[in-house]
Each structure stands twice: as structure tokens, then as C-alpha cells.
Amino acid sequence: MDDALLRALTPTVIGVLCRRGADFATAEDAVQEALVEAVRRWPDDPPQDPRGWLVTVAWRKFLDVARADAARRQREARVEAEPSPEPAASVDDTLRLYSLCAHPSLTPSSAVALTLRAVGGLTTRQIAEAYLVPEATMAQRISRAKRTVAGVRLDRSGDVATVLKVLYLVFNEGYTGDVDLAAEAIRLTRELRGMYPHPEVAGLLALMLLHHARRPARTRADGGLVPLAEQDRGRWDTDLIAEGVEILQAALARDRLGEFQAQAAVAALHADARTVGETDWVQIVEWYDELLRLTDNPVARLNRAVAVGEADGPRAGLAALVQLDPGLPRHAAAAAYLHERDGDLVTAARLYTEAARAATNQPERDHLVRQAARLNSVRGRERGRG
Amino acid sequence: MTKYLLLKHYRGAPAAVNDVPMDRWTPEEVSAHIQYMNDFAARLEGTGEYVDGQALSPEGMFVRYDGEGRPPVTDGPFPETKDLIAGWMVIDVENQERAVELAGELSAAPGAGGRPIHEWLELRPFLTAAPTVTE
């Protein structure tokens, strides 16, 4: 049973049904049902043409619903039982589906859920498990999302930027469960790049690959966070890094810079350094400057200040930090780090504690508490000697 | 999306506006209150924002470890600790604004005289999993 094949075919089959006149919401349900049937039947009876099989079964399921619906409303079914020979599978159909699922009228979480189901081919249960909500809640979130976009015409492809934001969210937000959503985001971004080779699509793919390459080194056995500077770089996936760098370089060569390319460039510079000491912080600061010219991103402003601290010394970093809003996420954590580098351990320890209280995720909170404890215990020992 | 805990407890917050204990309500008022809570949960399931809701027994005890090979020590309940947690609801919402809006609605549950209780609910965000991209 090739789960990956089924998931890859999902958006194409939805696209075919919509092209034949099915409405998106019913088509999407019909394709999900066809997937369930495929999982049940293919192991004993694999089809010659998986895509054709799915289209046939999904179309039948769609007709059942459409006829029942028409009977209920006592109206003629407008859809033909035997569709005219379909046009060749269209890349545009799939592209439009990506846009529809990321439509700006959807909230980010609805867009994520709908994308994972209709484009990613995941089941509602898998999506619910990934985001730790009951399946009934996720089912409602998805059907509301489908109702929201019901009036959107599928024949107009939307802004690719909204699609990229949704794929970035899938990649970046934490998740649980059996499905590797980071890998799923990479798969969908790869597909998108195949259909729509815009430099920012390539930039996002490169960004994902370069971060995914570090995953084996990012987490301790106990689930604790390993900061970039302390990661065992021997455990980084060099194939992913090479691929990410190559994709990024090709994108940058087209001279249409965007925020994902700039972020990927920072990630590539980190990936380039064999040791943390070899990191080219001057270039990283330059890329953050580019990024801030493209987008007023508070995280980028903070990261720039930290990078300045590495390039020009902690005092310079603190001077950059002073100009930023202290309410920015991770402001205290960045200040703590720079004060520690500057040798002011008392202030650093206090700020690490403050940062831990402000942390919004648990691995980061635990890491910051450990940092505060480390500095406090060093000072405790010094007092003991004195 | 962030998950928030809506916690109903009696520790630290001022009294509710309509502060009449439940056993002094009429049976119909009790039923109306319960109906309101059930409807609220059902509505949140419909909007795809409901995660969990539980009520707790008011009776409990304190427990602590008492050393190797010894059974845990139990104590209480302590009548002087008026920090009874009555129950909670967990929601999964787009932002803090939405969480505040929903907590306000829950606090409007009807009590004595069928009027809103206006009780204080504590709203606390859950810590999430770590994001992938941090630098």
C-alpha cells in the first residue's frame, strides 16, 4: 500500500472532479472517501492506473451525493453521469487548489487544516492528532473552512504568497502524532515548486531543507533543546544542506529577492560553518538588513541584534537591542545572552529567569531556566569560595 | 493557534457580581446554567475551537512522598485553603483576543434570578511545542 502515492494523487483528483463541475466541498469529501476505499482494496487488488481508479471511484461517490442532494431538493442533477473525456491532468487545477486552501478569507489555522487535508491527503484524525484537538473539533474546523471558500471561484489562481505562508506554518509550528508535518510541508513545497518555479517558492523550500538538515542535532534525548551554537554539526544532514544551498543559489541568481530567500541565506551561512567559531556573522547581519528592508519582522530585528553582538561584540549587540521594543518575543532571552557574553552574569541570570517566564513554548522555557540555574550556581560556588 | 485554559476557581479574584451560591438558586436556574454550559461547549465544537472541559469534585486531599519504602502521606482537605478549583475548559483559538471574547461569554452563564453570574475566570495560555525556525 503506497500511502505516499495516494497522498500525492489527492490534489490532482480533486482538481479533476472540480473541472468536471463538482463543487469543491463535495469533491473533497468524495476524494477522501475514495482514499479510504483505496486503502482497503488496493493491497489485494492493486489497480493498473491508480490515478484513473481514484478519479472513477471519487466521481461515483460524488454522483451519489449529488443525486441524493438533487432528490432531496427535488431538482434535476446538473452533473452528467458519464463525463465527457477529461482534459489532461492540469497543473493549473492543482495550483488553484493550493491557492483555494490558503485563501485569505480563511484564518491561518483553518487554512493549515484544509491544506493538509485537500492538498496533503491527510485524514481529519491525523490532522487532529498533530494539533492535539479532538477529531470532532478538527472535522468542524475543516468543514467551516470549506464553507468559507465555497463561493470562491476555483478558476482564478490566487496569490502564491498566501500559500507560502501556510506551508511555512505547517513546517514551523510544533506538532505531535505519527505524521511528520515538517516532512509533509517539504513535500508540498517541492510539489509547488515543480508547478510554479517562483524564486520565493524555491527560497521557502531551501529554508525548510536547511532547517530540516539540523533536526537530528536540535533535540537532546530527553527532548531538551540544543541551541545552534552547541549543536553537534557532524549530525547535520549534509545531503539536505547541499540541496538547500543549490536551490537557494539558483533562486538568488534570478535577482528577485524575497523574505524566504533572505531567511534561507542566513540558514545557509550557519550551515556553511564547520564550527560555530567559523560563522560569518558579518554576512549574516547583512542578510538580516536585507530581510528588514523586505519585511518589518520583529523576530528578524531581534535576531539581527544578536548577530551584531556576534559580529561586533556584545556591547554593540546590546546597543542594537536597546533600540528595540522590550515587549518583542525573546527580547529578554537575547539580552540575557548578550549580557553573559559581556561578563555581567548577575544581570544575565536575572534576565534568563525573566525570559523563561515569558517563553511561550516548553522546550524553550526549560532551556532558559537551565541557563539561569547554570549562572546562579556558578555565582553560588564563587560566593562559597569567597 | 494557541490553546488556552479557562479556569474556574476561587483563589485571589474578587467575588462575582451575581455572587449567590448555586444551592440557593431555583432548580430551573440550575438547569438553565447547565444548559448554557453545554450549549457553549457544543457551539465551540462547531467553530472548531473546543478541546476539553471538565468539572471537578469539590472533595480532594493533599498527597506527598514520604521517603523510600514508605506510603505517601495524605492530609486535608484543609478548610482554610479556599482555593477550590471547580472546573475548566480548554479551547484552541486563533489569538488572545478570541480567547478573551470566549471567556467573557462563559462568564456570562446565568445564575441566580437567571441573570449572568459575571464570575472571574482565569485565562492561561498553554506552552506550545518549540517552533522549528528560531534564528
- pLDDT tens figures, A265-303: 999 999 999 999 999 999 999 999 999 999 988 889 999
**Mean of the pLDDT values across residues A8-33?**
93
Interface contact A214, partner B, CB < 8 A: no
Answer yes or no: is pLDDT of A384 > 90: no
Query: B135 and chain A: CB distance < 8 Å anywhere?
Result: yes
Angle of helix A199-212 relative to helix A238-252, nearest 10 degrees, comes to 160
- A36, exposed or middle or buried, with CB in 10 Å at 0-12, 13-18, 19+? middle
pLDDT at position B89, please?
Answer: 95
Is A91 a residue whose pLDDT tops 90? Answer: no
Given an 8 Å threshold on Cβ–Cβ distance, is B135 in contact with A266? yes
How many contacts, defined by CB atoms under 8 Å, are there between A and B?
89
| Residues linked to residue B124 through DSSP beta bridges, in sequence order | B5
The residue-averaged pLDDT of A245-250 equals: 98
HSE of A217 in the Cβ direction (CA atoms, 13 Å)?
Answer: 18
**Is A156's pLDDT higher than 70?**
no
If 0-12 CB within 10 Å is exposed, 13-18 middle and 19+ buried, where does residue A45 land? exposed
CB-nearest to A109 from B1, B132, B134 is B1
- Strand B122-125 relative to strand B2-9: parallel, antiparallel, unpaired? antiparallel
CB-based burial label for A330 (10 Å; 0-12, 13-18, 19+):
buried
- Asked if residue B67 belongs to a domain, the reply is yes
Q: What is the CATH number of the domain that holds B102?
A: 3.30.70.1060
Q: Does A320 touch chain B (CB under 8 A)?
A: no
Question: pTM for the full model?
Answer: 0.90
Give DSSP secondary structure letters for A210-262. HHHTTHHHHB-TTS-B--GGGS-GGGS-HHHHHHHHHHHHHHHTTT---HHHH
Q: Judge whether A183 is closer than 8 Å to chain B, CB to CB.
A: no
**In a domain? residue B134:** no
Q: Residue A3: pLDDT above 80?
A: yes
Are A17 and A58 contacting, i.e. CB atoms less than 8 angstroms apart? yes
pLDDT at A247: 98
The average pLDDT across A251-267 equals: 97
- Chain B residues lying within 8 Å of A170, measured CB to CB: none
Residue B107 in any domain: the answer is: yes
In chain B, which residues have their Cβ closer than 8 Å to the Cβ of A209?
Answer: none
Beta bridge partners of B9: B85
Residue B22 placed within a domain: yes
The H-or-E segment that residue B54 falls in is strand B50-55
User: A20 CB contacts (<8 Å, ≥6 apart)?
Assistant: A59, A79, A83, A86
Whether B21 is in a domain gets the answer yes
Q: Per the structure block, which three cell numbers stand in for A22?
A: 463538482
- Contact between chains at A109 and B45 (C-beta distance less than 8 A): no
In this prediction, residue B26 carries a pLDDT of 92
For residue A2, is pLDDT > 80?
Answer: no
pLDDT score, position A89: 57
By Cβ distance, the residue of B46, B92, B132 closest to A133 is B92
**In chain A, what are the domain boundaries?**
4-89, 197-295
ipTM over 0.95: no
Could you report the per-residue pLDDT of A214-247, keeping only the tens digit for each?
A: 999 998 888 888 999 999 999 999 999 999 999 9
Is the CB of B47 less than 8 angstroms away from the CB of A363?
Answer: no
Interface of B with A in 5-34 (CB under 8 A): none
Pairing between β-strand B73-75 and β-strand B2-9 as defined by DSSP bridges: unpaired
Q: Identify the residue with better confidence: A256 or A89.
A: A256
CA-based nearest residue to B51, from B102, B104, B122? B102
Cβ separation A134–B52 shorter than 8 A: yes
| pLDDT for the residue numbered A87 | 56
Mean residue pLDDT across chain A: 91
Which cell goes with A253?
Answer: 541568481
Looking at residue A88, its pLDDT comes to 56
- Tens of pLDDT along chain B (135 residues) come to 899 999 988 777 788 888 888 889 999 999 999 999 999 999 999 999 999 999 888 778 889 999 999 999 998 877 665 567 788 999 999 999 999 999 999 999 999 999 999 999 999 999 988 888 877
Domain span including residue B67: 2-125
In a domain, B135, yes or no: no
Residue of B nearest to A224 (CA): B130
Residues of B in Cβ contact (< 8 Å) with A138: 48
Confidence class for position A204, pLDDT limits 50, 70, 90: very high
Domain contains B37: yes
Does some domain include residue B110? yes
Between residues B93 and A179, which one has the greater pLDDT? Answer: B93
Domain count, chain B: 1
At A170 the three-state DSSP class reads helix
State what percent of residues in chain A have pLDDT above 70.
94
Q: Which helix (H) or strand (E) holds A98?
A: helix A91-101
What is d(CA A65, CA A224) in angstroms, rounded to the nearest whole number?
A: 49
